[in-house]
Amino acid sequence: MPEASKRPELIHLEVDRRLGHEWDEWDGHPLESGGNFDTAPWVFFLWSAIWILGAAGVLALGILLLAPRLALLAAALPSQLGIGLAILTGVVLLWWGILAVAWASRIPVLPERLAERGPLLWLMRQTSYLARWFGRRDRVENAAVKVYDGLALARNRKVSRGELLLLIPRCLAKDTLEGILGVANRYQVPVFVATRGQLARRVIRERRPRAVVAVACERDIVSGLHDVAGKVPVLGLTLTLPHGPCKDTRVDLLRLEEWVKNYLS
């Protein structure tokens, strides 16, 4: 059983910059489904495939429209660019398919740098931009985070207590915060209250943890993973926003404790 005799180390840095910039467009109306954006992971694969094919289509159209001018530089240039684009698209779709198989099977087929700590982070960001145009950003990002977590958990990484860091936002409901501190206390894991993304990056840079469990809304998780996950392994646990963003948010404490236990086993 984990020791419970000591209080967890609570790291807190203040900053004068505003929290919640990812929600600047929120008009104050109740959020969809009470701020619960739980979405099946396959939704991310669908939207990411649309983005990949759409980007390839835009590039193909550009080559077609510019073909007369490109041919002035070299007669074979338009066809060469078309072939190159077709090969590139095929390679990306092959990678996308292997990624889907790795997630579904929970077998780490691809190395981290070709999966959750590499191009997947970029694809998550681009898919998020696409979903934003259709008002589906939060649900698509929720699905993306689940795919990311599934791939990361399949690595079965183990660290010591001093090598794991919990990152939490300051917008948590009081009972949720107490629950998280209770988990940190039971397993003696340090906790950092991240008031801004740059502070999360700073504490990771200074403390050099070997793994991080980050709690945030979908928007901050996707943005934070893009900035940090390439440098240190991260698991992202999304929030429920029953009163809107940045106020009395809640998290699945059972899952949080499960992840901490898995890391420390």
Residue 206 pLDDT: 85
pLDDT average, residue stretch 52-74: 95
The pLDDT confidence band at residue 6, using thresholds 50, 70 and 90, is low
pLDDT average, residue stretch 130-144: 95
Residue 65 pLDDT: 96
The pLDDT confidence band at residue 18, using thresholds 50, 70 and 90, is very low
Q: Is the pLDDT of residue 13 over 60?
A: no
Tell me the three state secondary structure of residue 214. Answer: strand
On the CB side of 82, CA atoms within 13 Å amount to 14
Mean pLDDT of the chain: 89
Q: Is the pLDDT of residue 21 over 70?
A: no
Q: Could you say which DSSP state residue 32 is in?
A: G
173's CB contacts (< 8 A; 6+ apart) are: 248, 249, 250
The pLDDT confidence band at residue 2, using thresholds 50, 70 and 90, is low
Structural domains of the chain, with CATH = 10-30+157-264 (3.40.50), 42-141 (no CATH)
| pTM, 2 dp | 0.86
Angle between helices 77-105 and 119-133 (to 10 degrees): 100
Q: Under a CB-based contact definition with an 8 Å cutoff, are residues 229 and 121 in contact?
A: yes
Task: Express the helix, strand and coil content of the chain in percent, nearest 5 each.
Answer: 60, 10, 30
**Cα gap 27→106, rounded to integer Å:** 40
Q: Is the pLDDT of residue 203 over 70?
A: yes
75's CB contacts (< 8 A; 6+ apart) are: none
Task: Report the percentage of the chain scoring pLDDT > 70.
Answer: 88
Q: Is the pLDDT of residue 45 over 60?
A: yes
